[in-house]
Amino acid sequence: MMSWLESLPNYTAYGTPSYFIYLLIAVLPMGISLYFGKRLAWYEAIVSFLFIFFMFDGSSAPQMISLIGYVVYQTILVTGYFHYRQKKNAAGVFYLMTLLSLLPIIIVKFTPAMVGHNSLLGFLGISYLTFRAVGTIIETRDGAVKDLNWWKFIRFLLFMPTITSGPIDRYRRFSKDYRKVPSREKYLEMVGKAVKYLFIGFLYKFVLAYLFGQVWLPAVEHQAMMYAPHLSWWVVAVAYVYAGDLYFDFAGYSLFAVAISYLMGVETPMNFNKPFVSKNIKEFWNRWHMTLSFWFRDYIFMRFVFLASKKHWFKNRNVLSSVAYMINMLVMGFWHGVTWYYILYGFLHGSALVINDWWLRYKRKHLHIKTNAFTKGVAMFITFNFVVFSFLIFCGFLNTLWFVKH
């Protein structure tokens, strides 16, 4: 069985032009049906299953086994907690179910640091599926989820356009969107946006990300490594080129995912909104990987602030928010992986959020600086360069430069 799976062709999501041809042909009947006011749920399920299957067959076949086990595990947890929540609401049960839902990703993230190799439980997209599952448990605790069964949860968890890299949707929003078939006028508007996003996505991922990631980045990394372990101006070039590669690759993928979602009649939230024009680090996180940053904001930052306020852990509100920022961003750093550069990346962004809040309070109280084009430009310049510097740490190149034997 495994050898047969490994012999099949593998199609990475949005990886090649041929993938888009197959995908658009498969989605076309859904679009025609939506145009006439009906959703082909059964056909969508078949298409989603086939495309997910071909994402995880071939060389990725072991990941398919992990994915199936993961989906069964999370479905039992989430639906079980939903039925429990209809009758009771013990905090201990909620925290236990949340921990159990997080357990697979904790194992996957800590295994490389503990034993030196990746966990067999891992598969492409496990982080994003975990955000969906945990978010559903939290929404259920809040009483926001009124209707859930195993099939509806699996349909949400394995929504094909966003399965491997997001954007991160939420069950309540998704299910409301899915239940309501858009009007003909609304759907035509969504199709128009989808076409636009596909064209921009192709420009981002297959042109700009190719130039930054495949042409320029290897070249500047090679030059920088010639001075290893010492720093050089080539390391600065690595930082800026990597930032371009990261943005255009991920933003392009996200645009593809949103576009295909729109064609399937679901308005998946956007992930990027011109992040490099941000005037401070808080605005940056309101523009960069928005579904991730909003998930952390709502389910970690805000919940910690609420709990700490309720328990009176801090007398000073500014200290409370500062601690919440640090916890929020350090957790995000650990989520990326248990390495010094991911953790330092989270620490730097947490510190930047604390300093930004302090600066805004200080400026408002003591300086009374008028906002104009010049001050906005300076703020954008500082924010952009800080973000690029943090990306240099995030990408792990400094780890290769300093600590890997050459």
**Which amino acids are annotated catalytic?**
336
Runs of H (alpha helix) within 180-271 = 184-202, 209-210, 217-225, 233-263
Which residues fall within 8 angstroms of residue 187, CB to CB, at 6 or more apart?
31, 34, 35, 265
As a whole number of angstroms, the distance between CA 43 and CA 33 comes to 10
Helix (H), strand (E) at residue 43 = helix 41-55
Strand, coil or helix: 125: coil
As a whole number of angstroms, the distance between CA 202 and CA 195 comes to 11
Tell me how many degrees the CA angle 226-231-236 measures, rounded to the nearest 5.
95
Q: Which of 268, 287, 281, 304 is nearest to 384 (CA)?
A: 281
As a whole number of angstroms, the distance between CA 406 and CA 402 comes to 10
Q: Which of 292, 189, 283, 306 is nearest to 250 (CA)?
A: 292
Rg (CA), the chain: 23
Measured between its terminal Cα atoms, the distance across the chain in Å is 41
Q: What tokens were used for 191?
A: 């199709």
